[in-house]
Amino acid sequence: MRIIFEEENVLVHGNAVPESGRISIIEHDSSQRREFVWEPIAAGDWTFLGGSAFDTGFRQDLNDISEYFKPKRNDSGLRYLVIKLRDGATLPSLHFGPGGIERVESAFQAFFVIKEVGSGQYKLELIEEPKDARLSLWEDDPEPRIASGRDVLNRGFGIFSKITRAISSNIQEEVARSPISRAFFNEGQPELPLERPVVIRATLVDEDDFRDFVLAGRYKAIKEKIFRGGLTGGARPFAWKQLLGYESIKNPEEKYHTLRAQWEGLTAEQEEYCTILRERRSLIAKDVTRTDPHRLNAEQIQRLSELLTTYCIYDQDIGYVQGMSDIAVVILDIYPDDIDAFWVFAKFMYRVRGNFERSQEAIKRQFEALRRVLAFTDGEMVRFLDRKESGHMYFCFPWFLILFRRLATHETLPTIWDAWLCSPCANFHLLIAAAVLDLKRKEIMNEEFGYCEILQVVNRLSGNVDTDEILARAQSLLVQISRSLSTPPIIKQLLNLSD
Amino acid sequence: MASRKKVLLKVIILGDSGVGKTSLMNQYVNKRFSSQYKATIGADFLTKEVLVDDRMVTLQIWDTAGQERFQSLGVAFYRGADCCVLVYDTTAPNTFKSLESWRDEFLIQASPRDPDNFPFVVIGNKIDLENRAVTPKRAQAWCAAKNDLPHFECSAKEATKVDEAFVTIARAALQQEADTELYKEVPERVDLRRNDAARSNSGDCAC
Ligand SMILES: Nc1nc2c(ncn2[C@@H]2O[C@H](COP(=O)(O)OP(=O)(O)O)[C@@H](O)[C@H]2O)c(=O)[nH]1
Ligand SMILES: [Mg+2]
């Protein structure tokens, strides 16, 4: 969490006596969500989780603020602001000392386009920002848009190849000038030594740990801890909601019921006219019974089917595609409540929905990216795969499509997703894939396996892997890549590592 | 009989999701039906050694995901196929209608040398179910129109006609393989010394 703006001595008139406090604008690391906060100074350890009673302060998403009213001067000599929200509600009026209002207004200018619409009345239009941090490789549009420098690095391969081209042309110029570096350059791409640093997985983060860190605003630290050790089953439901930005959903219940009613309310005649939905529902019906067939009971299968059908209504461009039931079932396991499960699934899908697009471009970009990473971590393996006509990496398809769902069991999988959600680098799934290959390299390479055998090795891994070993190895690769002085810029960009 | 060498025959099973491709493959190879198979993601294959007219061959049977959007990644294993099995569900007419596009898609992706004579075998599955919706007559008419494709009505669940279908598949694949080998062994410009076994490996002609 980052504090972007702070102003002290701001009074709020509660029920009886005015309370003095501080307002601030904060930004959350994970979601980049920004909030407008008022907290009483005297209250000390205030909590947001307990509600919004005056004595514990209040907070509001910046997205929700639509207007403010600034009367000329009130009788106490203090000046005050009334902030109006999109849904028509107003926040308690905030009374400022000298210059306070001006400071708040200028802070607002960083986030809003402000228009005066009446005497002392201002309308706020949020300046468009990139939405939730969607993983770069799933992003479909490679066109540059107005964005921060960091955001540009987060972009997909379209930009990437431009960057690479720029970089390699620089290198070539460099080379032309210096005969020594030319010799070096001709040595080929840099590669990491195969000896990996030892990483031992940390202990699980439990519910209390998670809450304590969140309350203290130590988001980065807690993510790091989760990345290294994973979450306990008890901590996961709350933690995943936070990590996926569940809070940003307004009226989740109402919205969920509206979506659900749209398919539940169809009459038989209407359904006749909904060919696409009907086909999707029939695909869903086929897949829910064979998603985790030995494990799910009739009621769970029913829930799975309802969740996926509701998602079809919510995301009509994707609808239902095979593989989605594998993801949904993991989330249903964690959330007994249908509404929670649905929105967590929707948030999760937001990050990976590129995988399910018709063009399969996102998946192809991931193959390409994995190849680049592997060329650095284990060039010998890439050369081997090329010789076996497997350098396209297609055999990793199920890993990427459903994020290792079938590699692990329903018990061990969530830890992989914990790490993926909390990873300090971007596209950590590439390192997980590289780690699996790293652990299986002897088996694959000693036997001189061809494409078919490699595919078979990969397919047979299902449920027979030690996920902690894989995660430790993936972490180890990250350590090695971060420390190495020869890490190619393209890989730093891919993983969003700074220098 | 020049070569008694072991032959590997590659068979690809295609058809809409849920028609029973995975079940048919497992019934044939492992002799069992289970309602516990997961939906196929990506591709997988099983192998089986069989005797076809006195000749020992290894069938490599490829099972695929049924959703068409995943086919763009399919090229990798369509290539070099010796036979393609098209499966529909006898209780779901849509899956029968899709056969045409599965066939076309395969021919585009696999680009066999002689598309008109590439062996396809058609299987209507799930005949153990009551609610049949594709009549044998209709299916046979389509198969006849496509250069007389062999057609079988099977049940992966009850193992009805599964072996018969695969015998035909294996035979067709072997025939196709022999034709391809023959083609490979014929040098582009010169003579027709097709018994020259040493040549069979240098198949990558510059065409
Ligand atoms: N009654 C019946 N059900 C079958 C038969 N073959 C497959 N199924 C069922 O149909 C569904 C889809 O089968 P599957 O083999 O996974 O289809 P695929 O998507 O084509 O691989 C599963 O629920 C199977 O149990 C069959 O011959 N008879
Ligand atoms: Mg299948």
Q: Tell me, what's the ipTM?
A: 0.83
Distance CA A325, CA A331 (A): 10
CA angle B43, A319, A351 (to 5 degrees): 80
| Residue B207, pLDDT above cutoff 60 | no
- pLDDT tens column, A408-465: 999 999 999 999 999 999 999 999 999 999 999 998 998 888 888 899 899 899 888 9
* Cβ <8 Å between B45 and A451: no
Four-residue CA torsion sign, B126, B127, B132, B134: positive
- pLDDT tens column, A138-168: 333 333 222 333 332 333 333 333 333 333 3
* Residues whose Cβ atom is located within 5 A of ion ligand 2: B 21-22, 40
Distance B21 CA to ligand 1 centre (A): 7
Higher pLDDT, A18 or A245: A245
Number of domains, chain B? 1
Q: Which domains does chain A have, with CATH numbers?
A: 2-126 (2.30.29.230), 167-196+359-495 (1.10.472.80)
Residue A369's nearest CA partner among A289, A480, A488, A288 is A488
Ligand lying closest to the C-alpha of residue B44: 2
* Cβ <8 Å between A397 and B66: no
Tokens for B180, please give them. 């391809």
From A127-131, A320-324, B121-125, the region with the lowest mean pLDDT: A127-131
Residue B121's nearest CA partner among B6, B27, B12 is B12
Four-residue CA torsion sign, A128, A132, A135, A138: negative
Compute the half-sphere exposure of residue A133: CA atoms within 13 Å on the CB side of its CA: 22
Distance CA A38, CA A60 (A): 9
Which range, A45-49, A188-192, B142-146, has the best average confidence (pLDDT)?
B142-146
CB of residue B70 inside a 6 A radius of ligand 1? no
pLDDT of residue A335: 98
CATH number for the domain that contains residue B157: 3.40.50.300
Tokens for A284, please give them. 């869903």
Beta bridge mates, A113: A125
Domain of residue B99 covers 2-206
- pLDDT tens column, B41-78: 888 899 999 999 889 999 999 998 877 677 766 666 78
Ligand lying closest to the C-alpha of residue A287: 1
| Residue A121, pLDDT above cutoff 80 | yes
Distance of CA A99 to the CA centre of its chain: 39
Helix H or strand E segment including B20: none
User: pLDDT tier at A88 (50, 70, 90 boundaries)?
Assistant: confident
Rounded to an integer, the average pLDDT of A163-191 is 39
- Fill in the DSSP letter of residue A464: -
Tokens for A67, please give them. 């207007």
Distance CA A468, CA A449 (A): 26
Of A326, A363, A452, the CB nearest to B45: A452
Which range, A382-391, B77-86, B125-134, B178-187, has the best average confidence (pLDDT)?
B125-134
Rounded to an integer, the average pLDDT of A276-297 is 93
Compute the half-sphere exposure of residue A136: CA atoms within 13 Å on the CB side of its CA: 24
User: pLDDT tier at A126 (50, 70, 90 boundaries)?
Assistant: confident
Distance CA A114, CA A451 (A): 60
